[in-house]
Structure 1
């Protein structure tokens, strides 16, 4: 836990340039968004503040999880903030978290920091128990693999 109440955080040094990490995010998100064997189908991605984000995550045992929200802030190759507290046209939804993804140059690669901020301690604990660290860590590993392919590394 950080100084921010109800926040879960991971950080990873990706061995790929920030431009490749960003391109993997913008053009190849379905390839890494869920820990395998889960998959993600991207339906709508309006990568701008107020833009929609709609996808469906599917599990190996037939699990189907629609995941809809909006982008709150987008600074290309630096920061993306999103939430499931709203859906299209700012319709309130049952909020679970605000996600923050930040990117910075470090040692010839990219420092990725992912944060999940929750409304309540119970929601943060539920996310932790669901496997936040392992899940977001595996996703970062898969993301780095895609970015390294893009960079030709």
Structure 2
């Protein structure tokens, strides 16, 4: 089996171009005070509990939901290449667990080309997540990031 194809079959990818320099997009992704402003869907607050931005460092964000429940996002950084790539394990409880997220950054003049991969343990789990609306959820989050970058 081709490992690349197998990984592609387990991966959801979102691509965007942000109208901001890579240094600003990187800052928004790596500094907790910025993450708190965009990491959740519109109307939901993000509380940064832990953000140890280094390989082996852990992160945990809590998003209180309108119904009183908490949505917990947490993981561990496994690879960081400044201004290029952030890889992390990730759990988004209670909806998604055991995934890996790859955030890739590429400068394009004064803009940033951003590619976001969510790698699932199995193709079946990926399909389940697609049906649950993962694209809409992350799309909303990245709209908030885009708005934050425009205001910087």
Q: Give yes or no for the alignment of 1:23 onto 2:27.
A: yes
Of 117, 120, 128 in structure 1, the residue corresponding to residue 119 of structure 2 is: 117
Report the equivalent of 1:91.
none
Whether the 8 Å CA contact 1:70–1:82 is kept in 2: the answer is yes
TM-score normalised according to structure 2 size = 0.84
Report the equivalent of 2:60.
54
CA RMSD in angstroms, aligned pairs only = 1.9
Q: Give yes or no for the alignment of 1:64 onto 2:66.
A: no
Number of equivalent positions? 141
Report the equivalent of 1:98.
100
Unaligned runs of at least 5 residues, structure 1? 86-93
Unaligned runs of at least 5 residues, structure 2? none
TM-score normalised according to structure 1 size = 0.83
Whether the 8 Å CA contact 2:21–2:109 is kept in 1: the answer is no
Runs of 4+ in 1 over 6 A off after TM superposition: none
Report the equivalent of 2:144.
142
Change (3 A) 1:75 1:138: same
